[in-house]
Amino acid sequence: MEVSNVPWVEKYRPKKLSEIIGQDAIVERLQAFVKTKNFPNMIFAGPAGVGKTTAAIAFANELYGEDMPAYFLETNASDARGIDVIRGRIKDFAKTMPLVGGLVKIAFLDEADALTPEAQHALRRTMEKYSETTRFIFSANYASKIIEPIQSRCVVLRFKALNEEQMREYIKRIEKGEGLEIDDKAIEALIYVGEGDLRKLTNILQSAAVISKRITEKEIYDIASRARPREIESMLHYALTGDFLKARNELDTLMLVHGMSGEDILLQAYREALNMQVSEEEKIRLIKEIGDCNYKIVEGANERIQLEAMLASISTPRKFKDEQR
């Protein structure tokens, strides 16, 4: 059997705008830009793994065809984020005249929210000076981290996380293409741990497929180092009912068996707290305790102590807390 060395995130990356999943409105607008060959500077904003980089490359490929290498410059701002790369490589590319009249070039800055403020201000001047020859496309998880003068010169296209049906369609595509057998619970687990990020989902699925062509729920959670939703819910439920020791035992399982970090546990706990069948008052209480614990861990406190303190605080009856005040 021939073995492919191409990672699945590249193997199943759409090559055309029409193949991009879940971003129909944006795809329609980009296709109109291709048709007219007239487009503004753009910011592709949205969460990770939803098709921002893919859309930029597919857009350039449809616009330039075989001439794409001469017209399209891709840089990753998280690798080269200082002012030198703006004054050097990007400025040199922008000031060069296009080979064919009527077409502008594209400078694509991936992860542009990692650029330093100094680099962004230098880039703003480059955008102004070479607007006749070059358009800029910025990809950013957080568009707010791009300075206002650049934002005002761009059209912001906001990508959204994929829904469950779109992710299920993508999983079925890989299942068919790789000859896998993925049971229904494993598909639900992939959707849960993927959280709308196709890149994360694909990497987890490829890692699971190395072990066996038959993918199960357990393999997905083990590879993702995530707990099943019911395990997180069980820990919170024991805490709410005042059984601190059982809640602590569940925490041991999460940290020692699944190898989860404190922040991972809190992120999943926050997600499950909203879905638990408890009163609104108890949900508010859970979210407040999770938020306080997360702040303390981020500030550098010992995560195990803080997680146990969180469970102890949730387990303590409200009446007893009021009396202590």
| Domain edges within the chain | 8-158, 164-224, 229-320
Q: With a cut of 90, say whether residue 226 has pLDDT above it.
A: no
User: Could you tell me which CATH class the domain 164-224 is placed in?
Assistant: mainly alpha
- Residue range 146-167, pLDDT digits in tens: 999 999 999 999 999 888 898 9
State whether residue 74 is helix, strand or coil.
strand
State whether residue 28 is helix, strand or coil.
helix
CB 51 within 8 A of CB 23: yes
Least confident of 3-17, 270-284, 295-309: 3-17
Least confident of 15-29, 229-243, 250-264, 307-321: 307-321
Q: Which overall architecture, per CATH, does domain 229-320 show?
A: Up-down Bundle (1.20)
Read off the pLDDT band of 117 (50, 70, 90): confident
Integer Cα distance of 216 and 184 in angstroms: 9
Least confident of 72-86, 93-107, 258-272, 282-296: 72-86
pLDDT in the model for residue 260: 87
Q: With a cut of 80, say whether residue 81 has pLDDT above it.
A: no
Integer Cα distance of 112 and 138 in angstroms: 6
Q: With a cut of 70, say whether residue 63 has pLDDT above it.
A: yes
pLDDT in the model for residue 320: 47
User: Could you tell me which CATH class the domain 8-158 is placed in?
Assistant: alpha beta
